[in-house]
Structure 1
Amino acid sequence: MSRQISTPSNQVRLTNVAVVRINRQGKRFEVACYRNKIVNYRQGLETDLSEVLQTDRVFTNVSRGQFANGADLKKAFGDDLSEEDMCRVILDKGQIQVSDLERSAALEQTIREIVDMICQKCISQKTQRPFTPHQIRQAMKDAEFRVNPTRSIKQQFLDVVKLLQEKKVVDIERAKMKLAIVIPTAQQTSVQEKLDVFDLYQMSVTHESGEHCRILFLSDPSLYRQMDQIAKEAGGQLEIAQQVVTSNGNIEVSDTNVSVAGGAASTGESMYESDALDKDIDELTEQVKSTKITSLKDGSDSEEETEALSMGNRKKQAKKAQKQSKKARRREKEETAERQARIDAEKLRQEERFEKMSRDSSDTRTEASDTAASSAETKSCNTCGGSFSATQYRAHFRSDWHRYNMKLKLTGVPPVS
């Protein structure tokens, strides 16, 4: 067990912290917030301060843990506000410390919203159909558009459309709006004269209860305020019948090469001539029906030819399957022979290895026995060393050499060889 005595920690470590700071009266005040909550608070999605603030205190420096002085807070925010209200002021008006990942995520979100707005409110001049998000992103990249994080989505949407039209990256335009002006019948002539100045495509004029008339037309979104002003001057009101007008249905590739000319009037005519389209559809339906009837009549005559062709195809398939089965059997035999050859070669290798190991073990035993015999015939003195035969070994203990070494051994001196 360790004898070290640790002092308890009296500090609260702030993790996942985002600092919001504000400068007032020459002093800097900061609050510590959660990164994923400060944006929700400013958007109105989160109202509970305990879910936003890591601690309900005002700092002069969050990283150092220095709290703000009470006198400085009263001087900067006034005497009427509590510390919680001061935190709310800092959260609402302060500057957020944003990391690189958060900045890139906000930038990507802005681009996505701009692209979605363009896809919803813009169409192609040729096809009168909306663009895909991938097309818009590529067009923005080709036009070298740069997102400004301080401007609104609507402003940047207008900037993108204007830039794409100037550089002619794609044939883009704002989708028309279907508007309706409801005015007194007496003002119909004057209002229509004002609308003709803008070269609008009028779809219909209907009279309601004899006192009011309703003029339905297509207009560019940029003219909405002027149309509203015309309706108010005539004592009527402006209604939005359809926010975005686009063409629906399939489109042929050849249709994309046909340019739309003649202004707004020709655009309206190409989009709303439904009678001609219905007539073409009816003619195509009749042609399909007649083709089916003809094919049924000719079908009975060609049954015999079809049976003959099917018989020939079946024979060819049978021959092909037979050839494939022969090849498969031949391949199987070859694989079996190769497998047996590998097995025999492995057995032979194992036998040779076993014989070699047995020979090596017998040689080792012979060498060991010879060494034991030689060691048994000769003996050595533990004090003087050397090797002697049995007769020499007995005579060595009576020699002066052995006696002298025994004296040296008693005095701790090494023996003489």
Structure 2
Amino acid sequence: MSRTLVQPVGQKRLTNVAVVRLKKHGNRFEIACYKNKVLSWRSGVERDLDEVLQSHTVYTNVGKGVLAKSKDLLAAFGMDDQTKICLEILEKGELQVAGKERESQLSNQFRDIATIVMLKTINPETQRPYTISMIERLMHEIHFAVDPHSNSKKQALDVIRELQKHFPIKRSPMRLRLTLPQQNFDSLAEKLTEWKTVTVSKDESGSQVSIVCEMDPGLFRDCDAFVRNLQGRSEILAISVHGEGDIHADHYEGHEEVSSSESKKPTEDVVQLSEKIQKQTLSADDTQGQVKQNKCSTCDAIVGDAKQYREHFKSDWHKHNLKRKTRQLPPLSADECRADEEMSDSKSDLNEYSF
């Protein structure tokens, strides 16, 4: 009896795809998309549906190529138009991300959050922003973990609040121009003093007073509402103000000389922070160095990292010293071991020749 090879027909298997999944009416529906195209479609960058969907077909399992039944589509979506259903799944479904892609997304989001923190913060003593690498180190030090389902800006603000508990860092001030009637200026001045704002300039023209000041961004809503109540208006000149140029006091007009001990005070916190990070880096390097140093007690020698340590056990040098150890003889170095083996080979050759 002859046997025939039976192969499944009507089954379309798709691999190396991005799967978008939607659970509805007790069933699971999936569509196959091109990688890195789903997010572009949702953000409005990609508008061609054919560039996003690999197939205008609804599956229950893309990996196995199992198609969704028409009765299930009618029960869940009220129609059996595959393209329209694919659009709904594309908009509302959950993107299934592979491990490496998820790791890449988290790494990029971590970098985005660190960039936002850098742009929104300054050193309170120097009035300058920290570098992106230092911000990332501090985020690692407070054990910050990225939430992929949360907004990067919201997470950045949470990071800033957490960093302020441990390190010298603060929100960079925003620069505003406040304009209001002359008779209401005294009320505003009292409020600005209470908010500890820094006045940059003041201009009086007729019955209006215009003042440029820098304040904490968290006070902007209260300030804007207060100025409106005083029949004035507020204008944002800069979201984030950082120190520029040389920030030493003796480069400004009308300065007063300060002692060298006083001039060093503003940078003490920064120096301590830098030293702390440098010590951690050095300690980490020392730890790695200690891990790499492996010593073989049989050969009485340091043989390197774990991989080299394993390879050493397979070497003729180690085997030769192991034989010497069983005879209670001291270990030989690698060169001595090779010389000893060559001497043994020469003796064996002479013995064979004599016979």
TM-score by length of 2: 0.65
Q: C-alpha deviations, 1:214-272, integer Å up to 9, x for none?
A: 12111001111111111211122111122222222246xxx7xxxxxxxxxxxxxx69x
Q: 1:35 to 1:52 in 2, by over 3 A?
A: same
Q: What is the letter of the counterpart of residue 36 of structure 1?
A: N
Structure 1 position 112, deviation (Å): 0.8
Find the residue that maps to 2:50 and give its secondary structure: helix
Find the residue that maps to 2:240 and give its secondary structure: strand
Structure 1 runs of 4+ aligned residues shifted over 3 Å read 5-13
Structure 1 position 7, deviation (Å): 9.1
Give the aligned partner of residue 275 of structure 1: 253
Structure 1 segment 365-404 matched on structure 2, within 5 A? none
Matched, 1:25 2:25: yes
Structure 1 position 156, deviation (Å): 0.9
Structure 1 segment 74-223 matched on structure 2, within 5 A? 74-79=74-79, 82-166=81-165, 168=166, 170-208=167-205, 210-223=206-219
Structure 2 gap segments, 5+ residues each: 258-355
Q: 1:205 to 1:113 in 2, by over 3 A?
A: same
% same residue = 37
In the aligned structure 1, how far is the partner of 2:69 from the partner of 2:6?
32
Q: C-alpha deviations, 1:350-377, integer Å up to 9, x for none?
A: xxxxxxxxxxxxxxxxxxxxxxxxxxxx
Find the residue that maps to 2:253 and give its secondary structure: helix
Q: Is the 8 A contact 2:178 2:233 kept in 1?
A: yes
Structure 1 position 26, deviation (Å): 1.0
Q: Is the 8 A contact 2:13 2:65 kept in 1?
A: no
Structure 1 position 82, deviation (Å): 3.4
In the aligned structure 2, how far is the partner of 1:82 from the partner of 1:7?
29
In the aligned structure 2, how far is the partner of 1:75 from the partner of 1:11?
23
Q: 1:275 to 1:250 in 2, by over 3 A?
A: closer
In the aligned structure 2, how far is the partner of 1:10 from the partner of 1:72?
19
Q: What is the letter of the counterpart of residue 58 of structure 1?
A: V
In the aligned structure 2, how far is the partner of 1:243 from the partner of 1:219?
10
Structure 1 gap segments, 5+ residues each: 256-269, 280-417
Q: Is the 8 A contact 2:177 2:236 kept in 1?
A: yes
Match of 2:235 among 230, 239, 251: 239
Structure 1 position 52, deviation (Å): 0.9
In the aligned structure 1, how far is the partner of 2:218 from the partner of 2:84?
43
Structure 1 position 114, deviation (Å): 0.9
Taking CA–CA contacts closer than 8 Å with sequence separation of 6 or more, which of the two structures ends up with the larger relative contact order? 2
Q: What is the letter of the counterpart of residue 239 of structure 1?
A: E
In the aligned structure 2, how far is the partner of 1:276 from the partner of 1:144?
45
Q: What is the letter of the counterpart of residue 190 of structure 1?
A: S
Q: 1:238 to 1:146 in 2, by over 3 A?
A: same
Structure 1 position 104, deviation (Å): 0.6
Give the aligned partner of residue 290 of structure 2: none
What is the aligned residue count?
253
In the aligned structure 2, how far is the partner of 1:156 from the partner of 1:7?
53
Q: C-alpha deviations, 1:50-77, integer Å up to 9, x for none?
A: 1111110111222222222222212211
RMSD between superposed Cα atoms in Å: 2.7
Structure 1 position 30, deviation (Å): 0.9
Find the residue that maps to 2:231 and give its secondary structure: coil
Find the residue that maps to 1:113 and give its secondary structure: helix
Find the residue that maps to 1:44 and give its secondary structure: coil
Q: Would you tell me which structure has more helix in proportion to its own residues?
A: 1
Structure 1 position 12, deviation (Å): 4.6
